[in-house]
Structure formats: C-alpha cells, structure tokens
C-alpha cells in the first residue's frame, strides 16, 4: 500500500506516487473495543465491497474504554492503585488488547483499507460529558504517542487522528495534544499523516491552528442544524490555512435529528448525501459517512439506537457513499475548486445548491432536484456537454450539447430524496 502525502497544491491528498487519494471514511469508533475477530472481518469485508477506503476508530474508546474490557476481556493500559498509566500499555500475555489492535490494522491493510486511528477519545484529557477518567498529562501523552508511533511505524495504512470530539479549552489540553503529536512524530519518523477530530460545529483550525505536525484539517459539522453550514465551515478553514480539509463527522444516517429521539425525525440517506455533496463542492479532500448504530457497534435496538450494527451496514447511505468518490475521480482531480458563482441562490438551508469546477468541467449540486438556471458565459465556453449524475445509483446520463448564453436545466425528478448533480464538460 502506497503511503499518503499532501498534494503540492495544498488542497488534496495523494499517494506518494502522485495518484489522487479521495478519503472516503466510515465512523467505527467502537470497532477495536467491541467486536470479535470474526465480526471485524465481516465489518471490513462489507465496507471494502462498498468502496470505502478509510475506517475511523479509537484506541482508548469512548464507551468506558479504559475500564470495560474488549471482546476478549482485555484492557489497553496497565493500572495500579486505580491509576491508569498511558506510558505503560498492557501488552502482557498471549493475546493482549494491542495484539487485537495489530490484528485489525493488518486485516484492514489486506483489504486496501486505511485506519484513521485516534490514540484516545477526548474524554481521557477533557472529560466533559464522557466517562473518562482524565488520565493524560503532557509528559505521559508524549510517552504514549512515542510508544504508539514506534509500534505502528511500519503500518503503511495508518493515519493519526488526534482530538476525539473535545474542545481544547485550556493550555493544559493544548499541551497534551501537542505532546502526543510530538511523540507520534518521533516514534513513527513522520511516516503517517496527522489530522484532528474536533468537537461538533467546530474545525481543527479552532483548536490546533498553525501546527506543523498537522497535515490536513478536519471539521465536525455534527448532527444538529449546524450541519446545514458544513460547507461554510470548510471554506472558513481553507481560508485560514492552506491545508486539505474534510468533514470527519456530519449527520449520521439513522441518528435522531439534533440527537433528540423525541423530535420524531432521524437523518436519512438523502440528508447524509446533502452534506457529502455540499462538502466536496466546497473543496473537501474527502468525506466521512456514519451510521449511528455502526460507530457504536450497537447489538440490540433501544431508544437511541434503532437497529444493530450488522443490519445498519447496508443501509442506503452506506451503499451510495462510493458514488461521491466516483464522481470526483471522473474528471481531472487536483484542479477542482469551489465555484459558488455557478450555484443559483437558494434561501432554504436544506435546499442550498452548490458548485465546483475544474478547468474544463463543472459540477452543480441540486439537493431537491430544483431546476438550475445558469448563465453559461460564466464558464467561458462556446459549447457545453451536459449530463445528470445520480447520487443514488452513480449513473451519469448525457442529455445534450448547449451553446446558449443562458440555459435552464431541469433534473429528471424533484422533491425530497431526489438530489442530482449537473455535470458540464466544456467542449470548445
């Protein structure tokens, strides 16, 4: 597997041999903590078949990951007198917690999948609403990062993802994250990219700006109504610092809107697609899908989790996610840039149209199948080939060549769940 690098244009990722790398992630935060080996293989097989290429997961997990053992009864850190020791991971015996992590890393690589691995969930340094406990200091954070970096130095399929859904509110928090990053860099010799997973409705630019160790930024537009501004959050991040950026966590399929089961609505595949396509039109270097029952590896329906992780694997949003990558790779990749001038204005948040373009092509996304009135001179083209791209099926259907100064493009269908991408290729 080729290592990853940042493209010289500073907007996108690539493999070290220069090929485009579109980060198509899935959130599987409890993967290392909850599943058996057999279940892990099943999960990875399905996500590989669906076209994902990155799995986001956590070493010290959110669901009481220090005290509650994994499937095989093991915990990640040594502990004495009630004190957890990040500088001393528990590797004793034949089948330690870290043997299992090794297994998952290797199984993922065999399937061409990369792991975006959080060394820890954020509640281990900023407990907030989580279980914690807070165990990190700058000193032991660096030691833990060094140990991780050394252990996985040769794992070509890793990306380090710091943070873990917590804001860096104090100088101590920032010192812990900076020290962990320094340990990782020393331990792995700089062989892996590093990013940061922020709190909801925030960007990593808010927590770790101007950090040399950070290779690309991430936002979390999250699961409430702030999700409608995901593209604006990406654009703000890109304007602040010239690094690639993506949405590492937007609306999960199947999660209660605003995380309120009593509101009566759960985000659908169409909602998930809207964030994904808004984000790539804003110049994101990839996108991360999520299902509420997959990240949690939920085993039985209950109030917040409507089904099991196994059933949720094949919900429509997951089956459709690879169509996003297919579209972006269908035209010259690295020249793509946001093109808000091509997006007709729309006042309703969930109906916002978005556009991006390359030198000889453009994509315009209409989330409800609204007609698109486009002054074609904005593309400086005498002739345009037009096609509709279906985000549900991944099919591209050409329907004509145009040379008018202004054209009205009417999608094949309209209404909730009938989103389309207008694809325009400049012929002359």
Q: What pLDDT shows up at residue 378?
A: 85
Strand residues in 121-214 grouped as ranges (E): 158-163, 194-197, 202-203
Q: The tokens of 323 are what?
A: 């169509």
Rounded CA separation 301/254 (Å): 12
Q: What pLDDT shows up at residue 343?
A: 94
Q: What pLDDT shows up at residue 346?
A: 82
- Sketch out the chain's domains with CATH numbers: 4-328 (3.20.20.80), 339-426 (2.60.40.1180)
Give average pLDDT by consecutive 10-residue segment, the chain, 428 residues. 96 98 98 98 98 98 97 95 92 94 98 98 95 96 98 97 97 98 98 97 98 98 91 97 98 90 88 98 98 97 92 98 98 98 87 96 97 86 93 97 86 97 94
Rounded CA separation 334/320 (Å): 23
Q: What pLDDT shows up at residue 381?
A: 84
Q: What pLDDT shows up at residue 347?
A: 78
Closest by CA position to 47, among listed 322, 384, 253, 267: 322
Rounded CA separation 296/424 (Å): 40
Rounded CA separation 298/286 (Å): 26
- The HSE-up count of residue 369 (CA atoms within 13 Å, CB side) is 13
């Amino acid at each position: 597997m080729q290592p990853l690098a940042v493209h010289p244009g500073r907007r996108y990722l690539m493999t070290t041999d220069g090929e485009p790398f579109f980060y198509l992630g899935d959130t599987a935060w409890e993967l290392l903590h909850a599943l058996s080996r057999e279940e892990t293989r099943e999960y990875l097989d399905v996500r590989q078949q669906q076209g994902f290429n990155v799995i986001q997961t956590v070493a010290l997990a959110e669901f009481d990951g220090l005290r509650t053992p994994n499937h095989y009864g093991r915990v990640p850190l040594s502990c004495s007198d009630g004190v957890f020791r990040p500088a001393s991971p528990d590797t004793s015996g034949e089948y330690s917690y870290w043997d299992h992590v090794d297994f998952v890393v290797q199984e993922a690589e065999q399937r061409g999948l990369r792991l975006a691995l959080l060394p820890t969930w954020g509640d281990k340094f900023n407990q907030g609403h989580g279980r914690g406990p807070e165990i990190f200091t700058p000193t032991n954070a660096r030691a833990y990062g060094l140990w991780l970096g050394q252990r996985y130095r040769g794992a070509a399929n890793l990306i380090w993802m710091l943070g873990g859904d917590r804001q860096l509110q104090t100088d101590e928090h920032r010192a812990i994250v900076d020290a962990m990053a320094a340990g990782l860099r020393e331990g792995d010799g700089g062989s892996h990219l590093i990013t940061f997973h922020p709190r909801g409705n925030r960007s990593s630019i808010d927590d770790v700006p101007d950090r040399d160790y950070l290779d690309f930024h991430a936002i979390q537009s999250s699961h409430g109504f702030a999700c409608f501004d995901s593209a604006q959050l990406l654009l703000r991040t890109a304007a602040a610092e010239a690094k690639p950026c993506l949405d590492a966590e937007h609306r999960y399929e199947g999660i209660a809107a605003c995380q309120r089961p009593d509101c009566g609505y759960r985000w659908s595949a169409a909602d998930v697609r809207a964030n994904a396509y808004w984000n790539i039109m804003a110049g994101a270097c990839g996108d991360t899908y999520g299902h509420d029952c997959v990240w949690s590896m939920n085993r039985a329906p209950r109030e917040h989790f409507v089904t099991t992780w196994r059933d949720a694997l094949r919900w429509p949003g997951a089956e459709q996610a690879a169509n996003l990558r297919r579209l972006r790779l269908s035209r010259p990749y690295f020249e793509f840039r946001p093109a808000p001038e091509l997006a007709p204005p729309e006042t309703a948040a969930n109906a916002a149209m978005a556009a991006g373009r390359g030198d000889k092509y453009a994509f315009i996304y209409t989330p409800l199948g609204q007609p698109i009135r486009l002054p074609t001179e904005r593309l400086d083209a005498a002739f345009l080939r037009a096609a509709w791209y279906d985000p549900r099926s991944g099919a591209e259907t050409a329907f004509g060549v145009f040379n008018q100064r202004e054209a009205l493009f009417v999608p094949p269908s309209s209404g909730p769940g009938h989103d389309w991408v207008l694809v325009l290729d400049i012929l002359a």
